[in-house]
Every structure is written in structure tokens, then in C-alpha cells.
Amino acid sequence: MALNIKTQEQILQDMLNNISDDYEKSAGFLTYDLTKTNAIEMSVIYSVIENLLNKIDVDNLKDEELTKYVLQRKGIKRKEATFAKVDLEISGTGTINEGDLFSTVNNIQFKSLETKQIIDNDTVLAQCLESGSIGMVGANSITQFPVTIQGFTSVNNPNSSYDGFEAESDSSLRERYYTELQKPATSGNKYHYRNWTNAVAGVGDARVFPLWNGAGTVKVLIIDSNKQPATQTLIDEVQKNIDPKGEYDSETDTWSKWGQGYGKAPIGAYTTVTSATGLNIDVDVDVDLANGYTIEEVKINIKNSIAEYLKEIAFDEQITYVSYAKVGALILSADGVLDYTNLTVNNGTDNITIGEEEVAIVGNVVVI
């Protein structure tokens, strides 16, 4: 039975109605004033009760309350933010020590994860000091020594940094909780593999293919938290979590731990973790610009809109194609666009099929 949450005014009126009319109950008289005081306090109690009732429903929870709720009931932990990593090319001769600092021109700092003697030039693995997407910087952007390192003249990152992910959102955590309720994981079934995989920080979703290479084999296909193909580092982390392979013996063509139950997978379940293949979605379109917008601004708006759409449908079991019509609608609704013509998606006007081992990602966007 639902609780009728009353306002202060309703409580006051109900209480006055329950008092005999032999007493004067108008405002300013003792009966009214004493009753109103009680009504004020009771309304506070009602508010507390209402708040507690709301917390019974997981949809009303957020932040730390949601974190505790799903952990206590299903043992599901919120995925923490991760630190972006990057390979740095350093020129000079001397020693790079673990913890030495490098930065972008806007002072996003990275620290060396290793100590290495360098002659002329070499590469060093570094990690951002701050967790999350702030450490995801483009190629050729880490060029500064915040503190001079004796013997070295330059630093650069020829490739973008990788695997810097934000902490898991409330919606993602809540979705994993509901998945656990609706698709119970047990005894190494498909849902178990998916849950094991999605619990790893940086993983956005997973698909599981039983018996993909014969009896006793399982393939786990992953994408990252940004719904992009996973890096090898993330693949290795998931592999280690589910079914670590150990050392490879070239003479016997075997791995020391693979399928032996050293991870979460049952003994005899040889699990292969790999990334989904990126399916580039290339878009060409002519647009009529609204006043005050440039082609470049509109291109960015269109690209961002398409990227969000592709994230939404990534690994969705019910959606197996990129909709040509949807792309057109996104272009038309983008800021700065009055109308468009000559739209092609991957050089055509048809929907683009997404393979079961693919994830659609934004490719080349040409706006004229």
C-alpha cells in the first residue's frame, strides 16, 4: 500500500478537523498555533520517510548511494577512472628515472613508468598524473620537460595516448546491475563471461561466442568505454582477468596457464579475448549554412552527433546497421545546418550493415 505523503497544510487541516468545534480553531488562537507547530514537525518526518522510500528504488539513487546499493546486493563494483598511458620518444643521452615528468604545452603532465639508460634516443612508457579522459592527448602534443632532465634535448609522443577512461557513470553501473538481475550469471555461462569482462575498468561492452573454435573454446569480443575498438593493453587486462595465458612454449605450441583455471573462467574453457573491428562510417554531404556558422564548425557538430549515435548503438543486439535516414536526421538537427543535399554514407545511400564482430565508428566526414 502506497504511503500518502502529506504537506504541512494537509497535516494541519486534518489535525484541526479532528479537534472538536467547541474550541476556537482560527489562526491566532491557541488551538491553531499549537496544532500548526506539530504539523510543521510532522511534515519534516513525512519528508524523511518519502526520501527513504525513494531510496528503495535503484533508479532514484546516484553517486555513492548507488555504488553502495549495487555492491551490497550484487557485489558489483563501480569501475574507477583509469590513467592514460603513452609511448614517448626522448632524444639525448642520460638516465630517465621512474617518475620523471613530461607535459603538453597546456601542462597536462605525464610521469615515466620506468627507469631507463638512453643513448641518443629511445622510447619510454609514461602515464598521466590525472585519471580520466584529460590524459587522452593527440600525437605530437607532449613536448615539454616541466623540470630539466640532464642530458636530454627533446621529447615527443608520435602517437596519441590511450586507455584514459572516466569513472563508470551511474547509468552504466545501473545497467550492469539490471543485467545481473535479468540475465543471471552462473557456472560459466555466457552472461558470466560478459559480466566478468564488463567489470574490468575501461571496458565498454562485450560479446561472447561459445565454441567459436571447437569444444572448450570461448571468444570474448570487447570495445572500450568510449565504444571504440579496444587497445592491446585493455585486451591483455581482460585476458588476464578471465583466463591468463601465462608463458608461451614455442616447442610445444602451448601456454603455461591458458585454460587451466587461473582466472575466472572454468578449467578447460580456453578463452580468447580480442577487440571488435572498427567499421568506419564515412559521410559526405552538402549543407546550407545558417548565419554565423562556418563549414568547420558545422563539420564538428555533425561529427559529434554521429559519434554519439554510433556510441548508442554499439553492441546493441537489436540494432545491426547504421541507418542512412538517422544520419540524415542528425545532420539536419546539427547546429548551423539549415538543410542538406547529396548525402552519402560509405559512398552510398543504403543502410550500413554492422557485422557481429564489428563496432561502427566515425570515419571521414566531408562537409561542403
- Between CA 360 and CA 364, with CA 361 as vertex, the angle to 5 degrees is 125
pLDDT at residue 152, rounded to an integer: 98
* CB within 8 Å of 205: residues ≥ 6 apart: 198, 222, 223, 227, 314, 315
pLDDT at residue 46, rounded to an integer: 86
Local structure of residue 7 (DSSP, 8 states): P
Backbone angles phi, psi at 18, to 5 degrees: -85, 0
Q: Is the dihedral of CA 211, 277, 311, 318 positive or negative?
A: negative
pLDDT at residue 289, rounded to an integer: 97
**What is d(CA 267, CA 259) in angstroms, rounded to the nearest whole number?**
6
**What is d(CA 366, CA 285) in angstroms, rounded to the nearest whole number?**
6
* CB within 8 Å of 69: residues ≥ 6 apart: 58, 61, 177
For the chain, the distance separating the N- and C-terminal CA atoms, rounded to the nearest angstrom, is: 61
**What is d(CA 195, CA 323) in angstroms, rounded to the nearest whole number?**
29
Grid cell of 228 as nine digits: 571504440
Q: Is the dihedral of CA 188, 180, 223, 134 positive or negative?
A: negative
Nearest to 193 by CA among 171, 170, 211: 211
Grid cell of 29 as nine digits: 488562537
Local confidence pLDDT in tens for the 368 residues of the chain: 467 788 899 989 999 999 999 888 888 888 898 899 989 988 899 888 888 888 889 999 999 999 999 999 999 999 999 999 999 999 999 999 999 999 999 999 999 999 999 999 999 999 999 999 999 999 999 999 999 999 999 999 999 999 999 999 999 999 999 999 999 899 899 999 999 999 999 999 999 999 999 999 999 999 999 999 999 999 999 999 999 999 999 999 999 999 999 999 999 999 999 999 999 999 999 999 999 999 999 999 999 999 999 999 999 999 999 999 999 999 999 999 999 999 999 999 999 999 999 999 999 999 99
The answer to whether 151 and 94 are in contact (CB under 8 A) is yes
Q: Bridge partners of 102?
A: 110
Encoded amino acid at 334, one letter:
A
- Between CA 95 and CA 105, with CA 99 as vertex, the angle to 5 degrees is 95
Grid cell of 342 as nine digits: 547529396
Domain spans of the chain, in order of start: 8-74, 85-156, 183-275, 278-367
Encoded amino acid at 317, one letter:
E
* CB within 8 Å of 206: residues ≥ 6 apart: 193, 194, 197, 198, 220, 221, 222, 223, 315
pLDDT at residue 1, rounded to an integer: 43
Give the containing element (helix H, strand E) for 308.
Answer: helix 295-313
